[in-house]
Amino acid sequence: MSLKSLLIQLSTGLVALTLAATVSAQTAKPQVVLLATGGTIAGAGASAANSATYQAAKVPVDKLIAGVPELSAVAQVRGEQVFQIASESFTNEHLLTLGKRVAALAKQADVDGIVITHGTDTLEETAYFLTLTVRTDKPIVVVGSMRPSTALSADGTLNLLNAVTTAADKSSRGKGVLVVMNDEIHTGRDVSKSINIRTEAFKSPWGPLGMVVEGKTYWFRAPAKRHTTESEFDIEQIGALPQVDIVYGSGNASDTAYRAFAAKGAKAIVHAGTGNGSVSGQVVPALRELRAQGLQIVRSARVVGGGFVLRNAEQPDDQYDWVVAHDLNPQKARILTMVALAKGADSKTLQRIFMAY
- 318 known member of a binding site: no
Residues 250, 222 share a domain: no
Catalytic residue set: 40, 120
- 121 known member of a binding site: yes
pTM exceeds 0.75 for this model: yes
Alpha-carbon distance of 230 to 134, in angstroms, equals 10
Total number of domains in the chain:
2
Alpha-carbon distance of 271 to 245, in angstroms, equals 9
- List the domain range (segments joined by +) for residue 135: 29-230
Alpha-carbon distance of 19 to 202, in angstroms, equals 44
Alpha-carbon distance of 221 to 163, in angstroms, equals 18
- Among candidate residues 146, 185, 190, 192, the one with its CA nearest the CA of residue 167: 185
Residues 192, 149 share a domain: yes
Alpha-carbon distance of 350 to 334, in angstroms, equals 12
Residue 192, in any domain of the structure: yes
Count Cβ neighbours within 10 Å for each residue of 120-139 and write b for 16 or more, e otherwise. bbbbbbbbbbbbbbbbbebb
CATH of the domain at 71: 3.40.50.1170
- Give tens-digit pLDDT for 67-102: 999 999 999 999 999 999 999 999 999 999 999 999
Domain boundary among 183, 199, 230: 230
Residue 272, in any domain of the structure: yes
Alpha-carbon distance of 76 to 119, in angstroms, equals 24
Residues 217, 125 share a domain: yes
Residue 288, in any domain of the structure: yes
How many Cβ atoms sit within 10 Å of the Cβ of residue 165? 27
- 120 known member of a binding site: yes
Residue 11, in any domain of the structure: no
Residues 183, 70 share a domain: yes
Residues 271, 135 share a domain: no
Domain boundary among 180, 204, 230: 230
Residues 191, 75 share a domain: yes
Position 289 confidence tier, pLDDT thresholds 50, 70, 90: very high
CATH of the domain at 346: 3.40.50.40
- Give tens-digit pLDDT for 332-345: 999 999 999 999 99
Residues present in the chain in total: 357
- Give tens-digit pLDDT for 97-131: 999 999 999 999 999 999 999 999 999 999 999 99
Residue 149, in any domain of the structure: yes
Alpha-carbon distance of 300 to 302, in angstroms, equals 7
Residues 306, 203 share a domain: no
Residues 211, 190 share a domain: yes
Query: At 127, is the secondary structure helix, strand, or coil?
Result: helix
